[in-house]
Amino acid sequence: MKLHFDSNQEYQLDAIKAITDIFEGQPVSGSDFEFSYSLVGSLLSENGSGNRLLLSEEQILENVKNIQQRNQIKDSVQDLQGMNFSVEMETGTGKTYVYLRTIYELNKLYGFKKFVVVVPSIAIREGVIKNLQITSEHFQSIYDNETINFAIYDSKKSSNLRSFASVSAIQILVLNIDAFAKDENIINKTIDRTTGKRPIEFIQSTRPIVIVDEPQNMETEIRKKAIENLHPLCTLRYSATHTNLYNLMYSLNPVKAYDLGLVKQIEVDSVVSDNAMNDAFVQVEKIQSVGKNKIAAKLKLM
C-alpha cells in the first residue's frame, strides 16, 4: 500500500510559514562554514555545512512580531526567549508532517542543513523515523530530489556524529532526551573513537536547528539545560499540549481544528436530564487509595 500526502493543506502551510518567516532576510549562502579538530597531534581540517545565522536579534524580533500579528497571537513577544519558538497543533492534524516539511523549507529558503529532532521516548522516536521514511518520496517530489540523510543516534556508534557534522547534505539526527541529558551519557564523554573529543561536540559545532517533539515532557531543569547544551541556532517546539508557550508562532487549538473539520467534536452527556434541577444527585468529594488494590471514595448525596 502506498500512502499519498496532500501538499496543499492551507493550515499546514500556514504553520510552516510561521517558522520560516522568522528568518526572512537571511541570505541563503549563510550556511557554509569550516571547522577543525585535532587528530593524533596533527590538525585535520574538513569542510562541512552547518548553520550560521546572519540576521540581527532586532530583525528576528521584528519578524516574530509580524508573524504573531498575522496569526492573531494576542501576547506579542518583547524578547526572543533564547530563540525558542512554539507551534501549537491539535493531535491528528499532521504535526510531524509540518515540522519535517519545515526542515526542507528552511533549507530551500536559507540553506540551513543541520537539524536535531529531540523526542521524550523510544515510541515517539520510532514514530519520527517511520514518518521520515514514508514521507521521503513525497518530499523528494516537492523539493527536486534534495539529498537528505536521517538517522537515530546510537551510543554504540557515536563516532558517526562526525559524518553529521561534515556531510554537506541535509542531516536530520533523531535523539532521545535520555541519551544526552546526563553527564554520564556516552555522548558527553571523551572517547577514543572520536579522536579524544566528546561526541556531542560534533553536534554543537554545527549550530543545529533543534526540533522538540512533545516539549511538555522536557521542562525539567536538567532536560532544558541538555537541549541548550546542543548549542542550537534556535529551538522549535511542537505539541498540542504545551506546558510553556515560548514565543507562540502558530496555534491550531481544538476549537480551530474542529471549525476546519479536522477533528470530530466530543460531547459529554449528563446522567440526568438537563431540567432535573431539583432531583437528588451524588457529589464525589474525595477519592484515595487505601491499599494495594483498593480505592475508597467519599460521596455526598444532595
Mean pLDDT, consecutive 10-residue segments, the chain of 302 residues? Answer: 84 97 86 44 44 94 95 82 95 95 97 96 96 96 94 90 91 97 94 79 95 96 97 97 94 86 63 58 72 74 68
For the chain, the domain total comes to 1
Task: Note whether residue 288 is domain-resident.
Answer: no
213-237 pLDDT tens trace: 999 999 999 999 999 999 999 999 9
Question: What's the angle, vertex CA 282, arms to CA 277 and CA 285, rounded to 5?
Answer: 125
Task: Note whether residue 215 is domain-resident.
Answer: yes
Is residue 187 within 8 Å of 163, Cβ to Cβ?
Answer: no
Task: Note whether residue 266 is domain-resident.
Answer: no
Task: Note whether residue 295 is domain-resident.
Answer: no
CA dihedral (81, 84, 87, 88) in degrees, to 10, reads -60
Q: Output the CA–CA distances (angstroms, integers) from residue 212 to 136, 158, 217, 283, in the order listed.
A: 20, 21, 10, 41
Q: Supply the pTM of this predicted model.
A: 0.81
Query: What are the cell numbers at 155?
Result: 551510543
Task: Note whether residue 107 is domain-resident.
Answer: yes
Domain holding 116: CATH number? 3.40.50.300
Q: Is 204 helix (H, G, I), strand (E, B) or coil?
A: helix
Supply the range of the domain harboring residue 203.
Answer: 10-259
The secondary element (H helix, E strand) that includes residue 165 is helix 161-166
Q: Output the CA–CA distances (angstroms, integers) from residue 214 to 3, 91, 96, 117, 204, in the order listed.
A: 25, 11, 10, 11, 22
